[in-house]
Amino acid sequence: MNLKKITSTFSASIVIPSFIVITTLSLFCGLFPIKAQLFLSLIKNQIFSNLSWLYVIVVSLFIFFLLFLVLSKYGSIKLGANHSRPEYSFFSWISMLFAAGMGIGLMYFGVAEGISHYSTFSSDIADVSIRAKEAQLYTFFHWGIHAWAIYAVVGLTLAYFTYRYKLPLSLRSALYPILKERIHGKTGDCIDVFALCSTFFGITTTLGFGVVQLNAGLVSLGLLPQSSFGYQALIVLIVMLIAIASALSGVGKGVKYLSQLNIILAILLLLFVLITGPTVYIFNAFSEGIGYYINRFTSLTFNTYVYETERVKWFSNWTILYWAWWISWSPYVGLFIAKISKGRTIREFIIAVLLIPSLFNFIWMTVFGSSAVHIDISSGNGVLSRFVNNPDVLLFRFLDQLPFSTLTSLTALLVICVFFVTSADSGIFILNSIATKNAPKSPAWQIILWGAALGIVALSLLSLGGLDSLQTTTLIVALPFSVIMVLFCYNLMKALSIDNRYDTIGFSHSTHNWSGKFWKERLRRILTYSQKKDVKSFIHETVQPAFAELQEEFANQGIEVTISLPQTPDPKIALRIDHDVMKSFEYGVRAKKNELSENFISESNAPQIESGHFFVPFTFFTDGREGYDVQYFTKDEIISDVLKQYERFLKILSDRRNDLYTIDPLCE
């Protein structure tokens, strides 16, 4: 093997520190699991006991911040240039963000959480119907809008700065308004190291704990004789091989198709339980549960149980743990959501990310969780609540109470397995993206390396008993990151206000001096549907001479102007004025293709048309604003239009309030 031929897109300043942190912490948790767990649990308990109010306030802030953006003028801003279009269909988009966000958790907690709240939190309530209602409420609370608000803040901020400011898809970019050019240096690298380690540990713990549920399900179906490390290792090997293959195929193929498949399978399983379970009870419970959740939303959001000391421990072990867990996962999920959300408006992004997965979670938790509680009550002997301390098997014990339990359990196992794969393959993709600073294409061995590392660390810690310690570490890290997320909100708000002011600045009245002097020539052009050769001629005969005159006059004024005429099949020309620190000015003209209506082509009283499409000379600018058609402009009008845009550009640059937007973030 020739080592010289091995190529890599890894960034050493990110990968080397990350591997040191991952290796050190994994060895500590694996070799000293008891001491590590005692030490880390002490820190976690102190945080949860003394700073639970901080988690409550921060998560509440996220919800109201996102609500403000939805209702504000900023909601129509696109995550990308104004002409951007979504890369994925709405169904594919929702499927991917949902599968990456918390799909596997629904399979694990769909039955387990409702039964747990019913058996423990509400055990002092004599009326079983009220206990069931409270259990459903807190399940909705933990898996609803609050959880997705955490993911939405990170995903929205990253998508905005990546696609609107053209910064790298990285946590460092969300801090650009504060750090400025320092995001390209060691400070930015430290942020990416944190994101990489957080993502790695989050996926590792999920993989390790999830394989236990898969193993338990296979045992309950008689497909495996027992739960053992050997079988768990085999399961992890199979899952990671599929995940690596999916990651190698890219987000637009493997990840997308597996996510769509899993959503379909999950919906089919849900419909089966809805039809064969207590159907009328489920519909009634869902309706009442939604109303109860809305009615209690504000009090639940801000409740810290300061006046109910007997429930503080439950509050820390459930609500605060969930908020910390969602925050610790948000770098990974946020990066992935941002990756697939280019072209969406801010309003569309927030509404979809907050409401659609939350609504699905409510339906899922009602169909599975409320049905399980109803079956447990109806049985009279706690047929499900007896397994409250063994949540790995609760889903399968629940399916045993319904028809075709073997078939449904197999389907559930398949859904769990695919959820594992979609979480792992999207995680591998994000890990490699962070480690390479978003290199467009990486060699296959890097994808394989991340998949192997995740599997090896998960199995090693599972064997040595160190997974609990690693999970506790991720929960501890959530505290400082929650503060960083508040900074994300501040940065996004600051950038949006500048973006809005930048985009709404109009032209001065001195630029509106068009006349009808050349109306006959313009009519002739209106009745002509140009082809690419015509646009090329227009650029050569009209635009290029105009740019040349401008270049000469700018030079007389002491300003250097460059004119580029790329040697490409598509006609294109650009006039550019470069700056050292601030963004450059560019006015370009390119050929834009337009399709013609077939009905219009067949019209008799219409211009003669050579083909089903035509080309027009269309302007483009550095800042990504939507251009416009200039096919009717004369040379002097092209000059006037360039000056009009340049006058606006200088007006923006000269206003110190716009410094954040006008300084080029890529200049170091």
**8 A C-beta contact, residue 340 and residue 97:** yes
DSSP string, 276-332: HS-HHHHHHHHHHHHHHHHHHHHHHHH---TT-GGGHHHHIIIIIHHHHHHHHHHHH
Residues carrying CATH 1.20.1740.10, the chain = 10-497
Beta-carbon count within 10 A of 362 CB: 20
CB contact at 8 A, 212 and 392? yes
Whether 367 and 274 have beta carbons less than 8 Å apart is answered as yes
Task: Work out whether strand 562-564 and strand 572-577 pair parallel, antiparallel, or are unpaired.
Answer: antiparallel
Residue pLDDT, tens place only, 340-372:
889 899 999 999 999 988 998 999 999 999 999
Tell me what pLDDT residue 510 has: 41
504 with 221: CB under 8 angstroms? no
pLDDT value, residue 553: 94
Tell me the CATH number for domain 10-497.
1.20.1740.10
**pLDDT computed for residue 242 by the predictor:** 81
Q: Alpha-carbon distance 455 to 424, whole Å?
A: 10
Residue 590 pairs in a beta bridge with 572, 618
DSSP bridge pairs for 617: 591
> What pLDDT does residue 255 have?
60
- Rg (C-alpha) for the chain, rounded Å, is 29
The answer to whether 325 and 475 are in contact (CB under 8 A) is: yes
Instruction: Supply angle C-alpha 649, 82, 579, rounded to 5.
Output: 30
Give pLDDT, residue 3: 47
Q: Residue count of the chain, please give it.
A: 668
Full strand arrangement of the beta sheet holding 572-577: 562-564, 572-577, 585-595, 613-621
- Mean pLDDT per block of 10 residues along the chain (668 residues) reads 64 89 86 85 87 93 96 91 83 72 73 88 71 92 93 94 87 88 85 85 78 78 78 83 77 63 84 93 95 94 87 87 88 86 92 89 93 88 84 86 89 81 78 81 84 84 77 84 92 90 64 63 75 89 94 93 82 90 89 82 74 86 82 87 91 83 66
Does the pTM of the predicted model rise above 0.85?
A: no
Q: What is residue 323's predicted lDDT score, i.e. its pLDDT?
A: 92
